[in-house]
Structure 1
Amino acid sequence: MSEIPTLVIGTRGSPLAMAQAKEAQARLAEALGCDAGPLTLRPFTTTGDAIQDRALAEAGGKGLFTKELDAALLDERIDFAVHSAKDLPTFLPDGLVIAAFLPREDVRDVFISRVADSLEALPPGTVVGTASPRRQALVLRARPDLRVGLLRGNVGTRLQKLERGEAGATLLALAGLKRLGMETHATRIFSIDEMLPAVGQGAIAITARTGDARTREMLARINHPATEAALTMERAFLAVLDGSCRTPIAGHARVESGTIRFRGLVLRPDGTDAVEVALEGVARDAERLGHQAGHEIKNRLLPGMLQA
Structure 2
Amino acid sequence: MRTPMNLKLGSRKSALALWQTHHVADLLRAAHPGLTVEIVTMDTLGDLRTDVPLPAIGAKGLFTQELEAALASDAIDLAVHSLKDLPSTLPEGMKFAGSPRRASPLDAFISTRYATFDEVPDGATIATGSQRRKAQLLHRRPNLKFADLRGNIGTRLEKLEREGFDGIIMAHAALERLEMGERVTSALPADQYVPAVGQGAIGLESRIGRDDIDALIAPILDEATMRAVTAERIFMRRLEGGCSVALGAYCEPAETPGQWVFHAWVSSTDGQQCLHESRTGEDPDQLASALVEDFLERGARSILRA
Cα deviation code 1:125-174 (max 9, x no counterpart): 22111010111011111211110111111111100111202522101111
Bigger shift: residues 141-150 or 116-125: 116-125
Structure 2 residue matching 1:270: 3-state secondary structure: coil
Structure 1 residue matching 2:105: 3-state secondary structure: coil
> Could you tell me whether the CA contact under 8 Å between 1:138 and 1:271 is conserved in 2?
yes
CA-CA distance at 1:303 after TM superposition: 7.2
Q: Distance in 2 between matches of 1:145 and 1:307?
A: 22
> Could you tell me whether the CA contact under 8 Å between 2:197 and 2:248 is conserved in 1?
yes
Structure 1 residue matching 2:293: 3-state secondary structure: helix
Q: Which amino acid aligns with 1:58?
A: A
Q: Distance in 2 between matches of 1:44 and 1:213?
A: 25
Identity among equivalent pairs (%): 35
Structure 1 residue matching 2:119: 3-state secondary structure: coil
Q: Distance in 1 between matches of 2:168 and 2:252?
A: 26
Paired position in structure 2 for 1:110: 108
> Could you tell me whether the CA contact under 8 Å between 1:46 and 1:67 is conserved in 2?
yes
Paired position in structure 1 for 2:9: 9
Q: Distance in 1 between matches of 2:129 and 2:142?
A: 18
Q: Distance in 1 between matches of 2:43 and 2:301?
A: 38
Summarize the alignment of residues 87-98 of structure 1 with structure 2, pairs less than 5 Å apart. 87-98=85-96
Among 202, 208, 221, the residue aligned to 2:206: 208
Paired position in structure 1 for 2:279: 279
Paired position in structure 2 for 1:40: 38
> Could you tell me whether the CA contact under 8 Å between 1:259 and 1:281 is conserved in 2?
yes
> Could you tell me whether the CA contact under 8 Å between 1:277 and 1:296 is conserved in 2?
no
Paired position in structure 1 for 2:167: 169
CA-CA distance at 1:46 after TM superposition: 0.5
> Could you tell me whether the CA contact under 8 Å between 1:134 and 1:249 is conserved in 2?
yes
Change (3 A) 1:124 1:255: closer
Structure 2 residue matching 1:120: 3-state secondary structure: helix
Q: Distance in 2 between matches of 1:59 and 1:185?
A: 30
Q: Which amino acid aligns with 2:271?
A: G
Among 137, 150, 173, the residue aligned to 2:148: 150
Bigger shift: residues 269-278 or 126-135: 269-278
Q: How many residues align?
A: 303
CA-CA distance at 1:193 after TM superposition: 2.3
Paired position in structure 2 for 1:269: 269
Q: Are 1:64 and 2:66 counterparts?
A: no
Q: Distance in 2 between matches of 1:258 and 1:303?
A: 32
> Could you tell me whether the CA contact under 8 Å between 2:80 and 2:204 is conserved in 1?
yes
> Could you tell me whether the CA contact under 8 Å between 1:120 and 1:143 is conserved in 2?
no
Cα deviation code 1:94-142 (max 9, x no counterpart): 1111222110001111111112222222232221110101110111112
Bigger shift: residues 241-250 or 84-93: 241-250
Structure 2 residue matching 1:305: 3-state secondary structure: helix
Change (3 A) 1:302 1:11: closer
Paired position in structure 2 for 1:224: 222
Cα deviation code 1:182-214 (max 9, x no counterpart): 010011122222321111010011111111111
Paired position in structure 1 for 2:138: 140
> Could you tell me whether the CA contact under 8 Å between 1:130 and 1:151 is conserved in 2?
yes
Change (3 A) 1:180 1:295: same
> Could you tell me whether the CA contact under 8 Å between 1:61 and 1:245 is conserved in 2?
no
Q: Which runs of 5+ in 2 are unaligned?
A: none
Q: Distance in 1 between matches of 2:53 and 2:88?
A: 19
4+ residue runs over 4 A deviation: none
Q: Distance in 1 between matches of 2:12 and 2:74?
A: 17
Paired position in structure 1 for 2:31: 31
Structure 1 residue matching 2:221: 3-state secondary structure: coil
Paired position in structure 1 for 2:260: 260
CA-CA distance at 1:300 after TM superposition: 0.9
Q: Are 1:129 and 2:122 counterparts?
A: no
Q: Which amino acid aligns with 1:96?
A: M
Paired position in structure 2 for 1:20: 20
